[in-house]
Amino acid sequence: MPSSLPDPAPAPAPASASASALGQDPKTVFVTSATGLVGSTLCELLIAQGYSVRATTRDLSTPAAQALLRVGVHLVQGSWDAPDSVLRENLGRSSKLFLCLLMDLFDASLMPQRAAQMARVARAAGVTQVVTLTSLGSAMVEDGAPLLPVPLSPFAAAAFPAGYDVEKAAMAGGFDSWTLLRPGFFMANFLEPKIGLGFVGQLRDREKGVWRSSMAGEALLGLVDHVDIAKTAVAAFEAPAKFHGKKVGLVSDEMPVQNALDGLARAIGDGRKLKAEFMGDDEMKAAQEAGSWLYFCSDPTARYMHDYVGDLAEIGSWIPGGLTSWDAFLAREEKLVRETYGRRMKRRSFWLFGWK
């Protein structure tokens, strides 16, 4: 499937040509989406490794922003829609960029436009390396990808090419090193606060305990731990030559959906049963016509995510301790598992991808 934007024009010279002249610091990273789950974890890991981290946020008063300030992130108020001069100022002496943008549900084209602007400004500022986070969906639509056996839903048909256009901005940006991270389904989607977005249906309803999805019985669900994503990004920043040109289909563990729910039920530990149910074609079509943006509840291509996953043994060798199994994630997040499933649901208001 063609992407929605043409390839960005190649830069006239490598970014490194101007890096030293502009005084960029090889140990300073600019992190986009720093207050998000992956971004905040990455900031903490980078600082622990001796990096300086710069980032922007729309609201410095949020708990997530305050947490970043406490660990030493240079955080200023700003947005992705700032003019070039402001973006350049925010980059400071950064020589590395973590590019992770969220799609506007009302205009998918904004995300790749912002990515192209950031890549252009970053390169001109002397940034030499970019690590980009999108999704496995980018691999499904990239140039030369095998034709999918089923069509994309309208949402995925907009979102996946937009993600691939973000990747193209990084690849064609003139950086000395670029790396693409394409994660699967976040393990954290089963827990607070992300469970409130509806990705896993009625799982925490004790009377129902059902996740009705567009997967299939034996199709492998590629689960990814956000900490593993952040650790992989750190590994790439530490070894830019080694990771240059890598496109990483990143999951931490794979299993049929029912196996994943059985593991979650064991972690909850109160004897409840959780059940995987699978949507038929008519039900998925109805969800699509209703405008669903929940990929795993409307798109049959989710069944083929395993085909785009990388070599897990190799990926695990890049990060300390290897990849996190589903059971290990649930054990690590035991307190949050109990909080999510061990009490009555509270009504909460939220903006998409951000809680109030």
Domain with residue 288: its CATH number is: 3.90.25
Residue 287 clears pLDDT 60, i.e. is over it: yes
Question: Which pLDDT does position 324 carry in this prediction?
Answer: 99
Question: Which pLDDT does position 80 carry in this prediction?
Answer: 84
Residue 354 clears pLDDT 50, i.e. is over it: no
Which residue would you say has higher pLDDT here, 292 or 69?
69
* Pair 180, 209 in one domain: no
The verdict on residue 351 lying in a domain is no
Does the N-terminal peptide bond of residue 193 adopt cis geometry, omega within 30 degrees of 0? yes
* Pair 207, 326 in one domain: yes
The verdict on residue 14 lying in a domain is no
* Pair 154, 43 in one domain: yes
Q: pTM value?
A: 0.90
Q: CB within 8 A of 335, min separation 6: which ones? A: none
Question: Which pLDDT does position 343 carry in this prediction?
Answer: 54
The verdict on residue 74 lying in a domain is yes
The verdict on residue 139 lying in a domain is yes
Please state, rounded to an integer, the average pLDDT across all residues of the chain. Answer: 90
Euclidean distance between CA atoms 183 and 189, whole angstroms = 13
Q: Among the three residues 250, 268, 289, which one is the final residue of a domain in this structure?
A: 250
- The pLDDT tens digits of the residues spanning 67-92 come to 999 999 999 999 888 899 999 999 99
Tell me the residue range of the domain where 101 lies: 26-184+224-250
Question: Which pLDDT does position 32 carry in this prediction?
Answer: 97
The verdict on residue 13 lying in a domain is no
* Pair 160, 275 in one domain: no
Question: Which pLDDT does position 44 carry in this prediction?
Answer: 98
* Pair 212, 202 in one domain: yes
* Pair 204, 136 in one domain: no
- Find the mean pLDDT for residues 14-28: 63
User: Per the structure, how many domains does the chain have?
Assistant: 2
* Pair 137, 246 in one domain: yes
Question: Which pLDDT does position 21 carry in this prediction?
Answer: 45
Residue with tokens 């010279």, as numbered in its chain:
13
Report CA-CA distances (Å) from 238 to 70, 73, 97. 24, 19, 13
* Pair 201, 242 in one domain: no
Radius of gyration of the chain (CA): 20
Query: Could you give the 3-state DSSP secondary structure of residue 73?
Result: coil
- Find the mean pLDDT for residues 219-224: 98
The verdict on residue 271 lying in a domain is yes
- Find the mean pLDDT for residues 94-120: 96
* Pair 158, 57 in one domain: yes
The verdict on residue 148 lying in a domain is yes
* Pair 144, 258 in one domain: no
* CATH assignment at residue 242: 3.40.50.720
Q: In this structure, how many other beta carbons lie within 10 angstroms of the beta carbon of residue 18?
A: 16
The verdict on residue 106 lying in a domain is yes
Residue 8 clears pLDDT 80, i.e. is over it: no
Q: In this structure, how many other beta carbons lie within 10 angstroms of the beta carbon of residue 154?
A: 15
Euclidean distance between CA atoms 194 and 42, whole angstroms = 18
Euclidean distance between CA atoms 98 and 178, whole angstroms = 10
Residue percentage of the chain with pLDDT more than 70: 90
* Pair 120, 195 in one domain: no
Q: CB within 8 A of 301, min separation 6: which ones? A: 140, 148, 150, 151, 152, 153, 156
* Pair 284, 192 in one domain: yes
